[in-house]
Structure 1
Amino acid sequence: MSTTELLFTRTDPALGDFALRPLDPFSDAELLHGWVTHPKAAFWMMGDASLPDVEREYMRIAAAEHHEAFIGLHDGRPAFLMEKYDPSRLELVGLYDARPGDVGMHFLVAPSDTPVHGFTRAVITTVMAALFADPATRRVVVEPDVRNTAVHALNAAVGFTAQGPVRKPEKEALLSFCTREQFEAATREGSI
């Protein structure tokens, strides 16, 4: 699969075009290193990672059967990272009752010197729309750090309901779910 192949596109009426393409662990490592080690990405837990560490992590994901990573584009330029995984096999094994059609997700917006109002919400809306574009996806499952109140608010804005805290080896996480119907209701025109 080519890293120039767009796998999903969406136009935000206020902010322009968003798209997802496959992540290449080699050609994207330097870009990702700047994102995941930035102080605003503290909850990504890679702040001290070297460039080879980042390359290895995304090579591991690329080789994994139940985990994928994508670069998100805004008007054709890299602007965010999305990871998709099977929560019944990774991250949340044994921590909740997985259902058929559950998909786990992580996203990270690239640091910017000129923040754009509504941009991160447009990114998470794009990520969720991409996940639900697959008819097999019935529910998106997330497990952000309980202290990450900014992402909890974004999750709620696109329809997530918090289930409660779960203890993972690396953090105390807030397990949250969003069904297709919850996402559609939350993002219906006029509600966002």
Structure 2
Amino acid sequence: MTVPLFTRTDAVLGEFSLRPVDPYGDTELLHRWVTHPKAAFWLMQDCDLAAVEKEFARISADPFHDAFLGLHNGTPAFLMERYDPAHRELVGIHAAEPGDVGMHFLSAPTDTPVHGFTRAVITTVMEMLFADPDTRRVVVEPDARNTAVHALNKAVGFEVLRTVSLPSKDAYLSTCTREQFLATRGDHR
């Protein structure tokens, strides 16, 4: 069993933790998540198991990109990627500053949604990123059509800077400083 790298407890929903993705051992689980219709913005709908394994093995080997499996009360429940925007995703589009960290997250598809769960997931992700004292600002580039994630991003302090054209999408380049995130912590359920 892999020891979590980060753990937090939500007063209502319980324990959330993150551990590194095992690109080989987690393939079937990740395949189910990223090919689900609710994960359309991950652009992996047509991937087979081998393609998902290859993608997460590539991320695992990349010094500027990491993937983490999120657990809720010990059960796999979300995925988070962390990247260096000076080297991945936004090169030539965003002038990365020291302390910038890029992020993607995905809550696992479910037939029984729990009120406040995805907010608790993004809060866990942000707390993990800001647990590193070198992280000054989180940078994201969600698809401009992904209204659900825009609302979540705003709720935890992200500010949209501008719309940018990426190879696979038009995206809202958004940032959240440590101070902006902390200012939202009054009500995090």
TM range (shorter): over 0.9
**Distance in 2 of aligned mates of 1:14 and 1:56:** 37
**Distance in 2 of aligned mates of 1:130 and 1:56:** 26
- Which of 6, 9, 31 in structure 2 is aligned with 1:8? 6
Deviation of 1:126 (Å): 0.3
Structure 1 stretches of at least 4 aligned residues deviating more than 6 Å after TM superposition: none
Matched residue SS, 1:187: coil
Partner of 2:153: 155
Matched residue SS, 2:77: strand
Q: Which residue identity lines up with residue 172 of structure 2 in the other structure?
A: L
Q: Deviations for 1:95-133, whole angstroms, at most 9, x for unmatched residues? A: 022100000000001011100000000000000000000
Question: Contact 1:5–1:22 at 8 Å: present in 2 too?
Answer: no
**Distance in 1 of aligned mates of 2:20 and 2:144:** 29
TM-score by length of 1: 0.97
Deviation of 1:4 (Å): 1.0
Partner of 1:181: 179
**Distance in 1 of aligned mates of 2:7 and 2:23:** 22
Partner of 2:106: 108
Is 1:66 the equivalent of 2:64?
yes
Alignment of 1:1-192 (within 5 A): 4-188=2-186, 190=187, 192=189
Identity of aligned residues (%): 67
Question: Contact 1:164–1:174 at 8 Å: present in 2 too?
Answer: yes
RMSD of the alignment, in Å?
A: 0.9
**Distance in 2 of aligned mates of 1:187 and 1:155:** 13
TM-score by length of 2: 0.98
Deviation of 1:181 (Å): 0.3
Count of residue pairs brought into register by the alignment: 189
**Distance in 2 of aligned mates of 1:28 and 1:75:** 18
Q: Deviations for 1:159-182, whole angstroms, at most 9, x for unmatched residues? A: 000001000011101000000000
User: Relative to 1, partners in 2 of residues 1:120 and 1:191: Cα closer, same or farther, differing over 3 Å?
Assistant: closer
Question: Contact 1:37–1:47 at 8 Å: present in 2 too?
Answer: yes
Matched residue SS, 1:80: strand
Matched residue SS, 2:121: helix
Matched residue SS, 1:32: helix
Q: Which residue identity lines up with residue 35 of structure 2 in the other structure?
A: T
**Distance in 2 of aligned mates of 1:53 and 1:43:** 17
Q: Deviations for 1:44-77, whole angstroms, at most 9, x for unmatched residues? A: 0000000000000000000001000000000000
Deviation of 1:191 (Å): 6.1
